[in-house]
Amino acid sequence: MQLSPRSPLLLSTLLSSFLFLGACGGGGSSSGNPSSASASSSSQTSSEASSSSDRSSSSSSEALSLHILADFPIGVAVSAANEPSSIMQDNEAGIAQRAIIEAHFDQLTAGNIMKMSYLHPAQDTYFFDDADALLDYADANGISLHAHTLVWHSDYQVPDWMKNFEGDAAAWLAMYKEHVETIAGHFAGRVPSWDVVNEAFNEDGTYRNSLFNQKLGTAYIETAFASAREADPQADLYYNDFNISNGGAKFQAMINMVDDFIARDIPIDGVGFQMHVFMDWPSIDAIKSSFAAVAERGLKVKITELDIPINNPYSPGYNYPDNYEATFTDELAAAQKKRYCDIVTAYLDAVPADLRGGLTVWGIRDSDTWLISALFDDNHEDWPLLFDNNFDPKPAFYGVADGLTNQPCL
| Residues designated catalytic | 199, 305
Q: What angle do CA 226, 232, 235 make, to 5 degrees?
A: 95
Query: Which residues fall within 8 angstroms of residue 369, CB to CB, at 6 or more apart?
Result: 307, 309, 362, 363, 382, 384, 385
Give just the sign of the alpha carbon dihedral 360, 365, 369, 372: positive
| Contact in structure between 196 and 228 (CB atoms under 8 Å) | yes
Q: Where are the alpha helices (DSSP H) in 187-317?
A: 211-216, 219-231, 249-263, 284-295
Question: What CA–CA distance (Å, rounded) separates 406 from 6?
Answer: 5
Contact at 8 Å (CB) between 295 and 352? yes
124's CB contacts (< 8 A; 6+ apart) are none
φ and ψ of 109, to 5 deg: -125, 130
**Per-residue CA distances from 292 to 11, 242, 273, 302, 356 (Å):** 28, 17, 12, 12, 11
